[in-house]
Homo-oligomer: A and B are copies of this chain.
Amino acid sequence: MSEVYADRRVRLRDRCAAAGSPAALVSRPANVRYLAGGSPPGAVLLLGPDEDVLLCPTPPGGDPVEGRLDELLRQAVLPPAGGDPAVAAVDLARKAGADALAVEEHHLTVARHRAMGSTAPQLRLADLGGAVEQLRIVKDEDEIACLRIAAEIADQALGELLESILVGRTERHLALELERRLVDHGADGAAFATSVGTGPNSGRGGHRPSDRRVEEGDFLSVCLGANYRGYRCEIGRTFVIGTTPADWQIELYELVFAAQRAGRESLVPGAGYRDVDRAARQILDGAGHGEAVPPLTGHGVGLEIDEDPQLAPSAMGKLDACVPVTVEPGVHLPGRGGVRIDDTLVVRQEADGGPELLTITTKELLAL
């Protein structure tokens, strides 16, 4: 397993060397985790000219390191008063003879970057950009296995909720119960803040659960995900409460379902990010709901819940095999509510059976 992390570091090191930097400093936590197997709070990873070192601050009273760190990696734990590990890393790179260090300018603050620069003025600080994020887009089968388990856990938690009585309960309580069930089924935690929307709140992306109670006739939309060994999936479903959905509810549901299916079916290696988005979006646009559609209809998932690629009208780039993404179009009608259907899938070659659906809870319109 350790070779996985070492291999990833070699790939990053090759990119840096090609760009003229003999050393790189990775500070964004998900990137540190990807390359080192774990990311203790505040730790930074130095890919030095000679060796790779994880520099960790000692947390107050806590363990110096946690997680499944790569044992091939040297770990340096700084004393409590040891200051910023990024500054210590600059010093280490300089002593190892590096004349340039690529850093994550999209993560480091201006103040931190300046402190690093003044530690070793003769060391040139270059920009690593999103190099690690780019490496992270295509997943290996171990990563996909973690996502698959995360999706199973979310399916289980959601399935149990559907068997319970919902009318009269608040959005907030339903969300808390889902998060408890995720952990009961083996998640390390929720992948993101669980969203539960009822009635007029249904179908709103990222809706924060309120004290509104579930009522007969409501749409109920739920979006949740599990974090399993750092990997995060996402599932969203919309249900109707009571025995007979209204005509407008059935119509809206069928429309969003058709859009989501079109998005899913367009997930093939080589498809443009924007083409997947368009496949889903044009169905909603065509029905006059263009304004009500969110700016993204999907995104990558992995060590973060919102990774590259972005499936959006102006996104550049094409899908590869083994890229997990969400497909999550929705329509929200102000004052009335709406529908959102969200799956996590892995792009696969057609010869391998096409897109692999990780979140398998039914997408029929269930009346609960």
In which size bucket is the chain A interface?
Answer: 35 or more
Interface of A is mostly: loop
The answer for the CA separation of A60 and B312 in the assembled complex, in Å, is 11
* Chain B residues with CB below 8 A from A107, complex form: 109
17 contacts between A and B (CB under 8 A): A59-B205, A60-B206, A61-B204, A61-B205, A61-B294, A61-B340, A63-B204, A66-B208, A80-B295, A81-B314, A103-B110, A105-B110, A107-B109, A109-B109, A110-B113, A111-B127, A173-B183
Question: Interface residues, chain A, CB within 8 Å of chain B?
Answer: 58-63, 66, 80-81, 103, 105-114, 127, 172-173, 176, 179-180, 183, 203-208, 293-296, 314, 330, 332, 340
8 cross-chain pairs, A with B, having the tightest CB-CB distances, nearest first: A61-B205, A61-B294, A80-B295, A60-B294, A105-B110, A106-B111, A62-B206, A105-B111
* Chain B residues with CB below 8 A from A180, complex form: 176, 180
Q: How far is the CB of A169 from chain B (nearest CB, A)?
A: 13
* Chain B residues with CB below 8 A from A295, complex form: 58, 60, 80-81
* Chain B residues with CB below 8 A from A66, complex form: 208
The residue that A61 contacts in the complex, of B59, B62, B208, B332, with Cβ under 8 A, is: B332
The answer for the CA separation of A206 and B80 in the assembled complex, in Å, is 15
Query: Contact at B106–A106, with CB atoms within 8 Å?
Result: no
The answer for the CA separation of A219 and B237 in the assembled complex, in Å, is 43
* Chain B residues with CB below 8 A from A172, complex form: 183
Having A62-B205, A106-B112, A109-B110, one finds 8 other A-B pairs with CB under 8 Å, namely A58-B295, A60-B206, A61-B294, A62-B204, A105-B114, A106-B111, A108-B109, A173-B183
Most central of A103, A108, A110 by chain B CB within 10 Å: A110
Tell me the nearest residue of chain B to A209, going by C-beta.
B183
Q: How far is the CB of A148 from chain B (nearest CB, A)?
A: 22
* Chain B residues with CB below 8 A from A330, complex form: 61
The answer for the CA separation of A105 and B108 in the assembled complex, in Å, is 10
Q: How far is the CB of A87 from chain B (nearest CB, A)?
A: 14
